[in-house]
Amino acid sequence: MSTRDEQFSTFVTARRTHLRRVAYAVCGDWHKADDILQTALLKAYVAWPRIHNRGGEEAYVRRIIVRTTIDESRRPWRRERPGLPAEERPTREGLAPEERDALIDALQELPEMQRKCVVLRHWLGLSVEETASELGVATGTVKSHTSRGVARLQDLLATPGGAS
């Protein structure tokens, strides 16, 4: 196996679960998240020598995940909803299962851009500038979508019964 393959395999082994959760948080569907992650990893492999030499492999893959989600949402056949609900739920330390479910359900109630901003800013801990760069928007847009998204999440989670 070549050095390139070994480096890429090591990266994927270490970060795949996290990146899959990121893809799910951005798109809201485990099956789409798997497809999007596969596309992102394929593109990252092609560009691996360039991105690995500069560092920032994970940021590159995250950017591909976000852009692929946007591209996929524009395709008419992707607007269809799957007939069966996703069985898997993401885990997050410190939250009880019912709180996690309520948070994920509330996140899915947000408009797409607000959800992406909230996930990138508060789940992944990216700065406003990094989030703006990943989404290809102005920093003011990130701030307003994040602010509205967090306010809406608070409303949804404060309501008895959560986001149901």
φ, ψ for residue 120 (rounded to 5)? -65, -40
Q: So where are the chain's domains?
A: 1-79, 96-164
pLDDT of residue 59: 92
Question: Which of helix, strand or coil describes residue 60?
Answer: helix
Task: Answer for the pair 51, 60: CB distance below 8 angstroms, yes or no.
Answer: yes
- pLDDT(74) > 60: yes
CATH fold of 96-164: Arc Repressor Mutant, subunit A (1.10.10)
φ, ψ for residue 80 (rounded to 5)? -70, 145
Q: Kind and range of the H or E element at 15?
A: helix 3-27
Q: Kind and range of the H or E element at 126?
A: none
Class in CATH terms, 1-79: mainly alpha
**22-35 residue pLDDT tens:** 999 988 889 989 99
Which has more pLDDT, 57 or 81?
Answer: 57
Whole-prediction pTM:
0.53
**79-117 residue pLDDT tens:** 555 555 555 545 445 666 677 788 888 888 999 999 999
